Structure 1
């Protein structure tokens, strides 16, 4: 059932705030795809270091809304980071009880101007 996917997505973001890279890595499919306004990466070996950097950046994540359907989960959340507060959303796709695709949506302009 898709509730397992929702739980996995919520655990993923909980582990980010807790900076538990090893736990996050266990959730990722070997061929995970990551897409954001700043970067696109493929494969667990390429995605994991970026997530580790994101863990250092993120201080708090408050999930405001969550939706689950079939093999996908959508979260809307407020992110408190070293750069301040911002709103973001993520669409996650699951395969074989692991995260296969992460599509992160946010305003990247503050990061591109630095």
Structure 2
């Protein structure tokens, strides 16, 4: 498992690691790589299904993860922050993604974690 950190306010469409070019974010679900994802493609700006590409989108930005007015790949999204915390916990404690997710949800329920996890735990 690898934890990648990016600068800027949006995540890239692809990442180059040596000779490897990783493409991602066809459906914008966390943990889904473009090459293995079977989900429908969506626009990274407005979250519309199959209708257009992000480059040609003139619609208002909308994130289907948190239902807020920003692009799906925004680093300001509470869901992005949650996923980053899950990955960091996974790497720090050498545990599975599922175990890290359960641990963070338990901490949120117990009141020892940031409050923005509350709205995501119900999904």
Answer whether TM exceeds 0.5 for this pair: no
What is the TM-score with the length of structure 2 in the denominator?
Answer: 0.26
Give the structure with the larger strand fraction.
Answer: 1
Q: Give the structure with higher Rg (CA).
A: 2
Give the structure with the larger helix fraction.
Answer: 1
Q: Greater relative contact order (Cα 8 A, min sep 6): structure 1 or 2?
A: 1
